[in-house]
Amino acid sequence: MHDPLVVAFTIRRPWPKRRHNPARSRWWPPLITVWHREPSGRDAGTVCGWRTHWRHPHHWHLQVHPTQTLKRWLWSRCAWCGGRFRWGTAPCSLDWNGPGPRWFRGEPMVLHGECDTERSKTKKPVP
């Protein structure tokens, strides 16, 4: 089965983010991503068509990136060491179909990159 979600469009933030690479020193990351969800969980593009995603706002789901980052920074903890995540870092997940972050609750079964490497070396289960 395929995913019923497809990106309809993104709204980029108006100020650039600097990179360490001098050849590509500026980048405008997304502020909001608008996802289109096909009705009844059908494959993307089968019901509404590929060119009409923007015409169905009742099928849209908004992904606000700063809010996601804030929720992860405030509530999510590493399942291996129990430490917080730094601002803007993406954790390694052990739960592919997890519910994701909910308000005032962290994401279950997420790890720092370093903790995931340590877990792989020691072959110990996550507490």
pLDDT digits (tens, 9 = 90+) for 68-94: 888 888 888 999 999 999 888 888 888
Pairing of strands 60-64, 30-37: antiparallel
How far apart are the C-alpha atoms of 59 and 39, rounded to whole Å?
Answer: 7
State pTM to two decimals: 0.71
How far apart are the C-alpha atoms of 94 and 111, rounded to whole Å?
Answer: 8
For residue 48, pLDDT beyond 60: yes
Per residue in 2-43, pLDDT (tens digit) is 677 888 889 999 988 877 766 667 778 899 999 888 887 777
pLDDT at 6: 82
pLDDT at 52: 65
For residue 125, pLDDT beyond 90: no
Token digits of residue 33: 């991503």
